[in-house]
């Protein structure tokens, strides 16, 4: 009989490792959850990841998992895995804040978001809700209402956003698995800055049912974790049609976990040049080179008009986000976060011509990028142009130019989510102590290719997410 | 500034005088991005897909 893991070993376990131990009766789900609650109690006050900790329901849910194990029932592929979600996911009994003060007076959600319910069905145990930029309109999680989430690698620095709590909670090892949302980079940016893996699935692949939308044209939800196999396990649990999401894909689920061991043979890799090779710190571009070398990627590929795609993404985001919040912008603008308010107000004033042109451009751009994938399976690009900046920093000098710190974090992520491509960001540790991510970008519904590549890189020791 | 004021009035959005300059500045950033999109020639047959399949 293998002895149960020590608290230290328990913290190191990834989600799949935790579930394996629970399923094999080496570890009680209750013990796994208790250990996560202890880590949260010890470190969350310094990091400010959580806006709600659901200790009682988590203990109860964990005991139910243990009871299933005791009865000899299948407790699910994520049995006993403590997880937490960005506070824009509905959690039954909890008010969905979406990072705002305005929503704090709304009644509690009456049911779980589809993604939360899917992870719970798989045996995972929800332990809390996580901080974010107000209404997801930001890349730093410097939330004025609930305080900034701090980067576990350096508490004076931002965690990234808008799923900052999701990135920092995983990076600090408080929980092995979180959910975030990504409209312009909001899973990938915090994953890059906090040194963890993040998956933004294909648009429509994972239901957004029961989440607070931001810009519906390219809102996505997905997991953050410390291993590629955890992303695969979570993604497999999350896939599936949902009538509550009008853009949910009707494609049958395509489990990726079994694909991981296939390695990278016959996958074609190329490095994105042009827009994706400019405007970043040398270290961000060097990280791409490191990953390219490990994958044997010698070709380059040009994603056309990526800078214009980023501009179009900005227009659509601002217009859709502002329209969503227009009633509150009219009547209670003072209750918005000062970091989002003026942008929401401006977004409400954009001319229709700009919005429609941006949507038409999107169709054109999607077709051009689809052509590129006839010759390549995985495109490599930096995730963020620089590692975590300081909290409160307004401007940053990068590649010889001074640029606004916050919006520039989305330089490389926005042109990809704009057309719903699946992307994994993989974490590279660096001598400076601040990690950086590299994006693995695939054709729609080719998450398996990305997960295989991420798993290969991890197995080769090129990427890793050690607890910060 | 004048455009921001008129557009806000057209959709019944009150703009706090103390906030007008900051909103106009943000709108300026967005209109610069909009110009980048609007200047790009698109064939007439390109439509904004009503159902978007990535």
The answer to whether residue A2 scores a pLDDT higher than 70 is no
Mean of the per-residue pLDDT values of chain A = 97
The whole-number average pLDDT for the span A458-468 is: 97
Q: What are phi and psi of A221, to 5 degrees?
A: -125, 155
Q: Which chain A residues touch B if contact means CB-CB below 8 Å? A: 202-204, 217, 247, 305, 307-308, 310-312, 314-315, 318, 326, 329-330, 333, 341-343, 345-351, 353-354, 356-364, 366, 419-421, 444
Residue B52 pLDDT level (bands cut at 50, 70, 90): low
Check residue A202 and give its pLDDT.
97
Q: Establish if B17 touches chain A: CB-CB under 8 angstroms.
A: no
Q: Give the residue from chain B lying closest to A354, CA to CA.
A: B34
At residue A21, does pLDDT exceed 70? yes
Does the CB of B11 have a partner CB in chain A at under 8 Å? yes
pLDDT score recorded for residue A433: 86
pLDDT tens digits for range A323-372: 999 999 999 999 999 999 999 999 999 999 999 999 999 999 999 999 99
pLDDT at residue A6, as a whole number:
82
What residues does each domain of chain B span? 2-38
B3 at interface of A, judged by CB pairs closer than 8 A: yes
Residues in chain B within 8 Å Cβ distance of A310: 33
Q: Is the pLDDT of residue B50 over 60?
A: no
Q: What's the mean pLDDT in A193-212? A: 98
pLDDT tens for each residue of A291-334: 999 999 999 999 999 999 999 999 999 999 999 999 999 999 99
- Rounded mean pLDDT, A167-177: 98
- Tell whether B18 lies on the interface with A, counting CB pairs under 8 A: no
Query: In chain A, what residues touch B47 (CB-CB under 8 Å)?
Result: 360, 363
Q: Do residue B13 and residue A346 have CB atoms under 8 angstroms apart?
A: no
pLDDT at A167 > cutoff 90: yes
Catalytic residues of A: 86, 162, 186
Does the pLDDT of residue A84 top 80, yes or no? yes
Instruction: Please indicate whether, in this complex, the C-beta atoms of B34 and A351 are within 8 angstroms of each other.
Output: yes
- pLDDT value at position A243? 87
Residue B42 near chain A (CB below 8 Å): yes
* Percent of chain A whose pLDDT exceeds 70: 100
Q: What is the pLDDT of residue A11?
A: 87
User: pLDDT at position A240, please?
Assistant: 86
In this prediction, residue B48 carries a pLDDT of: 87
A336 min Cα distance to partner chain B (Å): 13
Instruction: Please report which confidence band the pLDDT of residue A430 belongs to, taking 50, 70 and 90 as the band edges.
Output: confident
Contacts of A315 in chain B (CB under 8 A): 30, 33-34, 37
Do residue B3 and residue A348 have CB atoms under 8 angstroms apart? no
Q: Taking residues A407-419, what's their average pLDDT?
A: 98
The domains found in chain A, sorted by start residue, are 11-459 (3.90.1300.10)
| Neighboring chain B residues of A420 at a CB cutoff of 8 Å | 52, 54
| Least CB–CB distance from B12: residue in A330, A361, A420 | A330
The reply to whether the predicted model has a pTM over 0.95 is: yes
Q: What is the mean pLDDT of residues B20-46?
A: 97
pLDDT computed for residue B1 by the predictor: 72
| Confidence (pLDDT) at A429 | 87
Instruction: Summarize pLDDT for A241-298 with one digit per residue, the tens.
Output: 888 999 999 999 999 999 999 999 999 999 999 999 999 999 999 999 999 999 999 9
Instruction: Say if the Cβ atoms of A307 and B36 lie within 8 Å.
Output: yes
pLDDT of residue A10: 87
Residue A3: is its pLDDT beyond 80? no
Q: Which residues from B are below 8 Å from A333, CB to CB?
A: 14, 16, 19
Closest CB from B14, B34, B49 relative to A363 = B49
Q: How confident is the model at residue B26 (pLDDT cuts 50, 70, 90)?
A: very high
The CA distance from B31 to the nearest CA of chain A, in Å, is 8
A7 — pLDDT class (breaks 50, 70, 90): confident
Q: What is the pLDDT of residue A413?
A: 98
Percent of chain A with pLDDT over 90: 95
Interface contact flag, B40 A305, Cβ < 8 Å: yes
A354 vs B4, B8, B34: nearest CB? B34
The whole-number pLDDT of residue B51 equals: 59
């Amino acid at each position: 009989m293998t002895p149960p893991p020590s608290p230290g070993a328990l913290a190191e376990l990834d989600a799949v490792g935790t579930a394996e131990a629970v399923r094999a009766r080496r570890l009680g789900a209750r013990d796994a959850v208790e250990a996560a609650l202890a880590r949260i109690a010890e470190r969350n006050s310094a990091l400010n990841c959580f806006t709600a900790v659901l200790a009682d329901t988590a203990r109860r849910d964990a005991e139910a998992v243990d009871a299933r194990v005791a009865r000899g029932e299948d407790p699910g592929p994520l049995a006993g895995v403590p997880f937490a979600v960005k506070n824009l996911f509905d959690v039954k009994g909890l008010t969905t804040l979406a990072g705002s003060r305005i929503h704090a007076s709304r009644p509690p959600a009456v049911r779980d978001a589809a993604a939360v319910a899917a992870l719970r069905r798989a045996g995972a145990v929800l332990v809390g809700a996580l901080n974010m930029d107000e209404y997801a309109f930001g890349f730093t999680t410097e939330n004025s209402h609930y305080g900034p989430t701090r980067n576990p690698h350096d508490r004076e620095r931002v965690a990234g956003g808008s799923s900052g709590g999701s990135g920092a909670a995983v990076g600090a090892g408080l929980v092995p698995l979180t959910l975030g949302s990504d409209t312009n980079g909001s899973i990938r940016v915090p994953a890059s800055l906090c040194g963890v893996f993040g998956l933004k699935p294909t648009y429509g692949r994972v239901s957004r049912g029961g989440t607070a939308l931001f810009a519906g044209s390219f809102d996505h939800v997905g997991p953050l974790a410390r291993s590629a196999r955890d992303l695969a396990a979570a993604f497999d649990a999350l896939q599936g049609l949902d009538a509550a999401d009008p853009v949910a894909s009707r494609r049958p689920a395509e489990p990726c976990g079994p694909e991981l061991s296939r390695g990278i043979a016959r996958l074609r890799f190329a490095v994105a040049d042009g827009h994706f090779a400019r405007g970043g710190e040398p270290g961000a571009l060097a990280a791409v080179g490191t990953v390219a070398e490990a994958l044997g990627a010698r070709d380059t590929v040009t994603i056309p008009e990526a800078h214009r795609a980023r501009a179009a993404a900005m227009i659509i985001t601002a217009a859709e986000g502002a329209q969503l919040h227009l009633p509150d912008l009219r009547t209670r603008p003072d209750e918005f976060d000062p970091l989002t308010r003026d942008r929401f107000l401006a977004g409400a004033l954009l001319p229709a011509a700009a919005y429609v042109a941006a949507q038409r451009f999107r169709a054109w751009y999607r077709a051009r990028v689809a052509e590129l994938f006839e010759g390549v399976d995985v495109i490599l690009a930096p995730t963020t142009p620089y590692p975590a900046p300081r909290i409160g920093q307004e401007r940053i000098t990068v590649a010889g130019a001074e640029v606004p710190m916050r919006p520039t974090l989305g330089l490389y992520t926005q042109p990809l989510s704009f057309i719903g491509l699946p992307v994994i960001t993989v974490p590279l540790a660096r001598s400076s102590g601040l990690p950086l991510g590299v994006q693995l970008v695939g054709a729609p519904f080719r998450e398996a290719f990305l997960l295989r590549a991420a798993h290969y890189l991890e197995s080769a020791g090129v990427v890793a997410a050690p607890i910060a | 500034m004048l455009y921001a004021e008129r557009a806000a009035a057209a959709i019944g959005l009150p703009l706090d005088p103390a906030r007008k300059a900051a909103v106009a500045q943000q709108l300026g950033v967005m209109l610069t991005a909009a110009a980048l999109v609007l200047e790009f020639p698109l064939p007439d047959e390109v439509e904004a897909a009503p159902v978007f399949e990535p």
